[in-house]
Amino acid sequence: METKDNQEQDNGEIRKEPDKTNSEDLPEYIQLFTHLFNKKKFEKLLERCEWDHKINLTEEAPRELNAKAYAMTLKEEEVLNQWLDEQFKAELIVESKSRYVAPYFYIPKKDSSL
């Protein structure tokens, strides 16, 4: 049985789920890489490097891809636009120059929030 505090109850004993950003809660072979997954340390994108690259599409590449479009409610679109604005301002994402986009959709949380 899971509680709101992200804990599990096992034979009357309550124990906390492992925190994947806390090195002590991870297997030893992964502990050296904890910093790569710690959201608190991700403050901005790295500077451009010589190995950054652009994917040049050929003239034969389709102008658009046949993909399913996911309808969004007005609230979902507002939340997405707010999140994108925050990420741009924090320099955590940059605008893409690609002609292709990826679909975006929400999966409702148990508390009905986005």
Q: Is residue 12 part of a domain?
A: yes
Q: Is residue 2 part of a domain?
A: no
pTM score of the predicted model: 0.53
User: Does residue 103 share a domain with residue 61?
Assistant: yes
Q: Is residue 98 part of a domain?
A: yes
Q: What is the pLDDT of residues 50-92, one digit of tens each?
A: 777 778 889 999 988 887 778 888 999 999 999 999 988 988 8
Task: Name the helix (H) or strand (E) containing 26.
Answer: none
CB 105 within 8 A of CB 72: yes
Q: What is the DSSP letter of 34?
A: G
Q: What is the pLDDT of residues 83-104, one digit of tens each?
A: 999 988 988 888 888 888 777 7
User: Does residue 96 share a domain with residue 70?
Assistant: yes
Domain carrying residue 13: 7-42
Token readout for 6 is 């992200």
Token readout for 67 is 């993909």
Structurally, the chain folds into a number of domains equal to 2
